[in-house]
Structures are given as C-alpha cells and as structure tokens.
Chains A and B, each alone.
Chain A
Amino acid sequence: MKQFDYVRPATVTEAVAAAAQPGAVYLAAGTNLLDLMKGNVTRPDRLVDVTHLDGLDGIERLADGSLRIGALVSNADLAHDGEFVKAYPAVAEALLSGASAQLRNAATVGGNLLQRTRCAYFYDTASRCNKRAAGSGCDARDGENRSHAVLGWSDRCIATHPSDFCVPLLALDAIVEIEGKNGRREIALDELHRLPGNTPENESALEPGDLIVAVRLPPAARGFAAHARYLKVRERASYAFAIVSAAAALRIENGKIAEARLALGGVAAKPWRARAAEDVLKGVAPSADAFQEAAWRALTDAKPSGANAYKIELARRIVVRALTLAAAGTPARIPALPASPFASTSGAIHA
C-alpha cells in the first residue's frame, strides 16, 4: 500500500475541500477502498476520513413521507432497522444478501453506492483495463468473462457493478444527496453510475471533492412494501457476488398491477432499471404470461460480451421469478437465506 496522508476533517465543508485535491479519496469504512489499495488497484495520495463527521449516520423520516438515510449508516444497521424493513423490504433483503455480516457491519450506505467492479482484470494490475488505466485496453473482452456484462457494455469495458443494495434502490427511484465544492445538490441514483461508452474510467457523475451525504427514498417508494422482493443467483449459498439479480416491486390494486418497478444487478456497469418491462406490467393482472413478456422486454437490448450468453436467459428467468415472488407478497420476515432461490429447503419430497 502506497504511503498516504491521512486527514480527518471536522466538518463536511472541510472534507470537501480536503478531498478536492488531486490524488485524494474519501475513506469511510474502507471495506472496498482498503481492498483496492492492498491490491494496488488504487494508490491514493491522501485519505480523507469521513467516519468521524457528525450528522451522517441517521435514518430519518421526512415530513413528505420520504426517508433519508445518512451516508455513514452501516449496511447492517439499515437492514436491521425495524421500520426500514417494513417499508422497504426488498432493499433490506438485498443488503442482507450481500457480502458477510462482518462486512455489512462496517460497510456504509455511501460506500456501497461507490463500490468498484469485481472484474478480475480490473483487480489484476498486470492486465490491461480501461477503467483502471484509461486507454490501456480491455483484457476482459477476450478473457475469462462468463460473469461480465450483457447490457450497456462497450468494446472498451464489459465490467459489471457489483452492488446488491443499489438494485432495489434504483427500482424505488432513490435520490443521492451530494455535498460538493459548490454546495449541495441531488441527483437520481440512475444518474450516479455511468455506462462505459468510450470513457469507462468515468464511472460516476461525481466531481472531485463530491461527498455523498445521504440517500433518499421518495414518498412513493413506500407504496410497494406489500409486494417487493430481491432475488440473487450466485455460486455459493452466501458470501458471493450475484451472477444476476433482480429487484421487483409491485403496487397491486384491485387485482391489477397499478405500478411495477424492476431493476437488474450483475448485468451492466450500473444497476439496470428495466422501464420497458415496468410499462408492460402497468394495469395488467399479475400472471405468468405478463411476467414473461416483461422479462423479454427487460432483456431486449441484451447481448453477450463474451462467454456469457447464458446470463441473458438467466436474467429473463430471474425477472419472471422475482416478479412472481413479489406478486405473491412480501414474506413476514426476511428469509433465512436472503434473496436466495432456496428460501426453504425443508419441504417434503415427492416423486
């Protein structure tokens, strides 16, 4: 790990000023940053430690029905907040399906949004990677890429965004509050992460010094609590990143879908909102056919970036299943294996 200056600002303003310098990065829990620094993927000159800042670790319900989550709230504290679980069960389920309990205890809301891809070629500093070193090339393109992107990728980059948390947040139209050199602003989560295009090194809409201070869920996000699920297929029962995941949230009125929300994880450089699929579900009764149609719409633009055509079919099936589970209703308690296809394996067996 490269030597760095350690700065512990007393206020957000001080933090922004300190982090606006070239080579500076924010340190929150560090669960991703330190990993990257130990792998020499990132070699910052200055760490601006925001963990001691006041006022960034609260969960508050605003007068208009929004929920504001401080950027320093830990993933575990959020996922175990009783009110939060009731109102936004798919978000809690996604959080609990990610990483391990230890990492969730440390990792923060803000940090989760900004975690970097798990592409092996990004991590392997001997490989060419346009994201890590702009213009160097992409060794994933013809490499071991069965887990790479099927949506929104470019020849320059086929990496995926690894967050579980962001997937239901995106489905629920989350808003990101940012403190920057020019004061506070907010953007839709959908605008935070960028697709690679020709500049995969530009991963987000953040400018130097920008600090995510909170994530807000708008009032309408509460309307899906009764029918919201997150589903994640992975290669271990736990402690593994998604191959593909989906968050599905439905508002069902009088037997019809008044509004549907759908987002996918593990398929693109950003969490992927499937608005076309949402549109076909609006106003129809929940049914297998409708969900199939939505799944086709969600993956219309998908194409393999390597040995990963299976992910397209898998994503379709996950969409159908996530919608089916959401329609069936949010379970009273988050399953023992959150977001797993194996919610229950204890049932009787029959031929």
Chain B
Amino acid sequence: MNHSISLTVNGARRDFVLDDPRVTLLDLLRERLHLTGTKKGCDRGQCGACTILVDGKRINSCLALAISHDGADILTIEGLARGDRLHPVQAAFIAHDGFQCGFCTPGQIMSAIGMMQEAQAGNDPERIRECMSGNLCRCGAYAGIVDAVLEAQAGADETNQRRSA
C-alpha cells in the first residue's frame, strides 16, 4: 500500500509516495533522499549517530517511522551551514577538535543544537556531559565536544544579551 506524505526537510517541502510503511526517517533520509550526512551507527537508538531535529527537537531518526511523521519539519546536518558560513556549533567542533573519525559528528552536532534549544544545561560542563550522553563517540572526543558546546553556548548567550540590551 502506498502512502503519500509530506515533510519539510531543511526548509524545503518534500512530497512523496512511500511504498513501504517500514521506512524509518533515517533510512528515508539516507537511502531515498540521499541525504547521507545523518549516520547509522546502531539502528536501535543506542548510539545517537542518527540524531536529527524533528519539529525542533532532537530525536533518534532510526527509531522513528517516516510515515508517522507526516507533516514534520526536519533539520539535518546538511541544513545547518549557509554555503561556506558554518553554524557556530559546527565551527566550534572544528576549533575544539570535537571529533576524530567524524562518523558520530553529525549526530553530535545536531544533538548539541537540540540541547542548546532545550536550555537545560546552560554553561555547566557537568550538565552538558549528561545531556550529550545520548551520543556515543568511540574515538573518545568527548572533551572536545564539551568544549565546543561551551564555546557555542557562550556565543549564543552573548548574542541573546546583545539582543535584549
């Protein structure tokens, strides 16, 4: 049975016919839309490599059926930079060496952006570590990841202060 669904992916509306309800958001992005920046590390919600933002919230796209998210607004790693202009979190990950092999990185970055929007961790390294614990990194780049988030958070705080001033 075919199902028509529409999604907004990185700002662009995409309408398509889904021939199989088993397709997850992750497999839809990677294998059908060829947006391969989002990674599959475990396919079972245990590693976070597939983290994307759905309606502004970070989730594991491997455990989300595409068909159930009809109408959702999806942001993936491909939707962050504006040409050569990196998102501050992306730039901070480079500056602080928040990755080695880079495979978990798209998930880490999307998770970090989601976390900053949740506004629960602030600039407390311990809370950042806890709130980023859904993203495994086998290379062990956690120290750089935390430093990158701290820098990006500081930048965001400064921007907010300037706006409110």
Contacts and interface: CB of A to CB of B under 8 A. Distances in A.
Nearest to A47: B21
B78 to A, nearest CB: 19
A301 interface: no
A290 interface: no
Interface string B12-43: 00000000111010000000000000000001
Contact of A4 (B22, B59, B62, B129): B22
Interface in B59-100: 59-60, 62-65, 67-68
A281 B57 CA distance: 43
Interface stretch (A101-109, A148-156, A171-179, A249-257): A101-109
Given A80-B120, A101-B134, A51 B68 contact: yes
Main secondary structure, interface of A, reads: loop
A100 interface: yes
B48 interface: yes
Given A30-B65, A31-B60, A100 B44 contact: no
Nearest to B136: A239
A337 interface: yes
Indicate the member of A38, A39, A51, A237 with the most B CB atoms within 10 Å: A38
A105 B118 CA distance: 10
A76 interface: yes
Interface string B104-126: 00000001001100101000101
Contacts of B127: 336
A336 B111 contact: no
A338 B57 CA distance: 21
Given A30-B65, A80-B118, A336-B124, A101 B131 contact: yes
Chain B interface helix/strand/loop/mixed: mixed
B159 interface: no
B12 to A, nearest CB: 23
B138 interface: no
A35 B63 contact: yes
Contacts of A103: 45, 59-60, 63, 134
Contacts of A236: 133
B68 A100 contact: no
A238 B133 contact: yes
B60 A102 contact: yes
B165 interface: no
B84 to A, nearest CB: 29
Interface in A1-55: 1, 3-6, 8, 27, 29-31, 34-35, 38-39, 47, 49, 51
B134 A99 contact: yes
A47 B21 CA distance: 10
A34 B60 CA distance: 11
8 contacts: A4-B22, A47-B65, A51-B68, A76-B118, A100-B133, A101-B114, A101-B131, A101-B132
Given A336-B126, A337-B126, 10 more contacts: A6-B1, A6-B3, A30-B64, A34-B45, A39-B44, A49-B65, A49-B68, A80-B120, A101-B118, A105-B58
